[in-house]
Amino acid sequence: MKKYWFIINMQIMSNLQYIFNIIFGFIGYFIMLFILFNLWQYLYSDPSELINGYSLLQMTWYVVITEILWSTLSGSKFCKKICNDVKSGNITYNINKPYSYIGYSLSTHLGDISVRLLVYTILGMLTGLLFLGSFPSLSLVSVLIVILTSIMALVIQTLFMIAIGLLSFFIEDANPFYWVYSKVILVLGTIFPIEYFPGILQTILRFSPVYVVSYGPAKLFVDFSWDAAFSIILAQIIYFVIAYLLCFAIYRKGVKRINVNGG
């Protein structure tokens, strides 16, 4: 485990050189949040009104959290990197090192996003406060659980991206798969909470990755309950195992097909 922790640290060190890029990148997040805040303000005629169980304060904070997770992830860049590693044969240079490629990729990406996560969380919270003036009511323990589930959400997302990227072993280009996956997460879990969708779709979404990678942490932030916390953490553990086994199976089958001509 120590070596993976070292990889995360190396990536953080490497990334600190781009701290200003990260801060400037926040402008996009701010604009997105500004638009959504105005939209919800328009839709809520009265701040105390509830739409699908959410008040204006809860709805806006929900989006603050899901957008932090979404923007931090920088998924398409990472997925492209894995695809390119496979297609260019770069992956081979990781194979004969004493670490697992999946663990290595997961650690580099977690290192890569950790600085961004910290910056976006601080600036995102300030933006939320600026628009709304207050936080939803939370205890210290519930804040810790939100942080834990948010990190788990990012880990699971990263594993799914590795799995999609590794599909490049078998198909020419896995990027379109990521495109579909990311749009599902964006539309069905980032902009709107699950409760906004019709009954049958809600049930499906509760069993889908949307529940653990996006909805879960944000729901706990705006409307914390121990029941929800247990079910989200349990679902995250199950999804973590599924995503890891998926990566492992694809990698194991794919690595035997490696063709490296020349170089």
Partner 1 sequence: MTIIEVKNLSKKFRVKVKENGLKGSLKSIFKPKYKVVEAVKNISFEVEKGEIIAFIGPNGAGKSTTIKMMTSILYPDQGSVRVLGFDPVKDRKKLSYEIGTVFGQKEQLWTHLTPYDNFKFFGAIYDIPEAACEKRIDELAMLFELDDFINTPVRNLSLGQRIRCEIVASLIHEPKVLFLDEPTIGLDPVVKENIRVLIKRMNKEFKTTIFLTSHDVGDIEKLCKRVIIINDGQIVLDDSMENLKYHYLNKKIVEAKMKEKVNLDDEDGITILKDKGYNLKIEVDTTKRSVADAIKLLNPDNIIDINISNVPLEDIIRNIYQKKD
Nearer to partner 1 by Cβ, of 20 and 42: the residue is 20
| Shortest Å distance, C-beta 241 to partner 1 | 22
Which lies closer to partner 1 via its Cβ, residue 6 or residue 179?
6
Please give the single-letter amino acid code of residue 37. F
According to DSSP, the residues that pair with 51 across neighbouring strands are 54
List alpha helices for 90-174, DSSP H. Answer: 92-95, 101-132, 140-166
Is residue 78 within a helix (H) or strand (E), and if so which, with residue range? helix 75-88
Tokens found for residue 247 = 């990566």
In angstroms, give the least distance from the CB of 5 to partner 1: 8
CA atoms of 43 and 41, how far apart (whole Å): 5
Which of 165, 176, 4, 159 shows the shortest CA–CA distance to 88? Answer: 165
- The DSSP 8-state label assigned to residue 50 in this structure reads -
Closest CB 86 distance from partner 1, rounded Å: 13
CB closer to partner 1, 48 vs 259: 259
Report the nearest approach of partner 1 to the CB of residue 254 (Å).
Answer: 12
Q: Select 199 or 263, whichever has its Cβ closest to partner 1.
A: 263
Please report which residue ranges of 133-225 form alpha helices under DSSP H. Answer: 140-166, 175-185, 199-206, 209-210, 216-222
Per CB under 8 A, residues contacting partner 1 are 2-3, 6-7, 10, 13-14, 17, 90, 92-93, 95-99, 256, 258-263
CB of 4 to partner 1, least distance (A): 9
Q: How far is the CB of 150 from partner 1 (least distance, A)?
A: 27
Of residues 95 and 144, the one with the C-beta less far from partner 1? 95
Largest Cα separation within the chain, whole Å, is 67
Structure tokens belonging to residue 140:
């210290």
Residue (15 or 121) nearer to partner 1, CB: 15
At residue 207, φ and ψ (nearest 5 deg) are: -100, 0
